Amino acid sequence: MAMPAHEEHEETCACGGACGCGGHHTSEVYLTREEYIERLKEYLGELKAEIASVEAELAELMQQPVS
């Protein structure tokens, strides 16, 4: 039994493989290892920005008097 091409080249599903989709994409897109690393770096940056936003809002709310 032949291995699918994406496994032979160590490529990763564009969703990152962690979405629980089971690989049931209508049009599958595979990334190279380098592309996947870049996508993860971008996502990490987005997460860090979201954390900073939540921390700022929480700090602001904690400084407001309770009514």
- φ/ψ bin of 17: left (φ > 0), alpha (ψ from -120 to 50), beta (otherwise): left
CA 44 distance to own-chain centroid = 7
Q: Does the structure show a pLDDT above 50 at 8?
A: no
DSSP count for the chain of H helices, then E strands: 2, 2
pLDDT category, 28, cuts 50, 70, 90?
A: confident
Q: Does the structure show a pLDDT above 70 at 67?
A: yes
Are 28 and 13 in contact by the 8 Å Cβ rule? The answer is: yes
Domain ranges within the chain, ordered by starting residue: 7-63
What does the DSSP assignment read for 10-36? T-EETTTT-SS-TT--SS--EE-HHHH
Percentage of the residues of the chain whose pLDDT score is greater than 70 = 60
